[in-house]
């Protein structure tokens, strides 16, 4: 089964846990919900799987397929990354200690062999520690990215299930995080402007209103093939009067934002 990307509406994105959209490269979670019809991440409670968007029970945890609950997405990578970095730091400390001892011994006994050993230890130890720390950092970043994308997908789906709008408190309950954290995520999405904006009701309640992404049309012949990501975008929307289709202009803006996102992610080394 496949679905349209929750960010850019690119079709098809295969169902599953952590599947990357070939167009905007967002990671997507969950299979289609039978009640709200959305591909939304799941939440696990008492060994049963629920839809984060509408709360519908999707079945038992041991049922069909692997469910990655929203509060677990990215966590193994984040923990693994931190552990690897700690290991790297410890490795560096041990190397430093060993090199110091061997150097002292080399000086005390005027031994060239011990001196050479100290140099070798210092080289291999620091290279190993560096690799561990770099690998750990990368793993941690992957985990953070997965968590961010899953949370975005969950709040967007939850907003749609609530008629298009969601408050920070509601999003916090969906994501099982503090309201401030949910508010920061929603504010970031609203700031991007393409998918949501802020509305304040007469009662002073701040709501985040989600709109549908401009659809990405894919010709049937290219739909089956993976998109390689080569695309030509005009930096300035075509300003001629006959082509000022607001949908097209919006699409171009979304495309540019994705390109920027891709660049920042590439720069981060993902």
Summarize as ranges the residues that interact with Zn ion (CB under 5 A).
5, 7-8, 10, 21, 23-24, 33, 35-36, 51, 53-54, 56
Among the listed residues 31, 67, 40, 75, the one whose alpha carbon sits nearest the alpha carbon of residue 166: 40
Looking at beta carbons only, is 149 or 183 nearer to Zn ion? 149
Q: Which lies closer to Zn ion via its Cβ, residue 118 or residue 254?
A: 254
Looking at the Cβ atoms of 23 and 207, the one nearer to Zn ion is: 23
Contacts of 115 (CB under 8 A, 6+ apart): 103, 106
Closest distance to Zn ion from the beta carbon of 4 (Å): 8
DSSP characters over 174-233: HHTS-HHHHHHHHHHHHHH-SSEEEEE-TT--EEEEE-PPPP----HHHHTSPP------
Shortest Å distance, C-beta 115 to Zn ion: 58
Min dist CB 236 to Zn ion, Å, is 23
Contact 208, 165 (CB under 8 A): yes
Cβ contacts of 140 within 8 Å, gap of 6 or more: 77, 78, 81, 82, 85
Q: How far is the CB of 137 from Zn ion (least distance, A)?
A: 26
Q: Kindly give the residue spans of alpha helices, DSSP state H, lying in 109-178.
A: 112-161, 168-175
Closest CA to 261 of 18, 72, 78, 7: 7
Indicate the residue among 56 and 257 with the shorter CB distance to Zn ion: 56
Closer of 21 and 214 to Zn ion (Cβ): 21
User: With respect to Zn ion, which residue has the nearer C-beta, 53 or 218?
Assistant: 53
Look at the block and give the residue holding tokens 């290991």. Answer: 87
């Amino acid at each position: 089964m496949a679905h349209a990307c929750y960010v850019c509406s690119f079709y098809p994105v295969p169902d599953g846990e952590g599947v990357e959209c070939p167009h905007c490269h967002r990671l997507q979670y969950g299979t289609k919900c039978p009640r709200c019809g959305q591909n939304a991440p799941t939440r696990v409670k008492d060994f049963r799987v629920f839809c984060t968007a509408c709360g519908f029970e999707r079945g038992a945890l041991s049922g069909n397929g692997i469910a990655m609950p929203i509060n677990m997405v990215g966590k193994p990578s984040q923990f693994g990354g931190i552990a690897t970095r700690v290991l790297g730091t410890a490795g560096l400390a041990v190397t430093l200690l060993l090199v110091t001892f061997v150097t002292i011994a080399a000086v005390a006994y005027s031994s060239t062999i011990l001196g050479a050993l100290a140099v070798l230890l210092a080289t291999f130890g620091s290279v190993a520690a560096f690799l561990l720390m770099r690998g750990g950092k990368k793993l941690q970043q992957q985990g953070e990215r997965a968590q961010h994308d899953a949370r975005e997908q969950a709040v967007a789906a939850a907003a749609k299930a609530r008629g298009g709008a969601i408050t920070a408190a509601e999003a916090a309950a969906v994501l099982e995080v503090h309201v401030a954290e949910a508010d920061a995520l929603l504010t970031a999405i609203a700031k991007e402007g393409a998918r949501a904006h802020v509305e304040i009701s007469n009662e002073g309640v701040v709501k985040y209103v989600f709109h549908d992404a401009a659809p990405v049309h894919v010709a049937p012949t290219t739909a089956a093939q993976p998109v390689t990501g080569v695309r030509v975008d005009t930096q300035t929307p075509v300003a001629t009067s006959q082509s000022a289709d607001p949908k097209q202009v919006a699409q171009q803006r979304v495309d540019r934002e994705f390109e920027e996102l891709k660049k920042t992610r590439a720069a981060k080394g993902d």
